[in-house]
Amino acid sequence: MEFDSTVTISIVLAIVALVAPSITAIINNKHVEKMKKLEIKEQHYKNNNLHIRDMFEQFLTDYGKYMANQKYSDLENLKGSFYSLLPYVPKKDLPVFQDFFDLLVTRDAANSEEIIVKKVIPTITEIIDRL
């Protein structure tokens, strides 16, 4: 039994023509799935960074309101934003924030202003830059 090379080549090409689109679709779907996971991860990263930035901005805004009015309600808002952002402060920077908070609790506004300008704001800047 002899095989005609043209028939053999035709059969191989037909099989490849049937299988190739399936293989292409599988590879394409894997790539699309991987890209979607990366997009979701990037979106989560951006949302998390934005949330942390907003918390620090809210903290500074509440501090400004408290310094302008020295009202107890403003102090309560400031305490709330202080405790909200603590989980995002690295351990090495916690003493700076704790010193600042201790001055707020004792209502030593003049010294708290010095600490926020010299220590807290630069620390916040470092934290945000690390994001």
- Residues 60-110 pLDDT 10s: 999 999 888 888 888 899 999 999 999 999 999 999 999 888 888 887 767
On whether residue 59 sits in a domain, the answer given is yes
List the domain range (segments joined by +) for residue 51. 41-130
On whether residue 20 sits in a domain, the answer given is no
On whether residue 81 sits in a domain, the answer given is yes
On whether residue 126 sits in a domain, the answer given is yes
- Residues 13-33 pLDDT 10s: 989 889 999 999 999 999 999
On whether residue 1 sits in a domain, the answer given is no
On whether residue 90 sits in a domain, the answer given is yes
On whether residue 76 sits in a domain, the answer given is yes
On whether residue 116 sits in a domain, the answer given is yes
Query: Total structural domains in the chain?
Result: 1
Q: How is the chain classified by DSSP, letter by letter?
A: ----HHHHHHHHHHHHHHHHHHHHHHHHHHHHHHHHHHHHHHHHHHHHHHHHHHHHHHHHHHHHHHHHH--HHHHHHHHHHHHHHGGGS-GGGHHHHHHHHHHHHTT-HHHHHHHIIIIIHHHHHHHHHH-
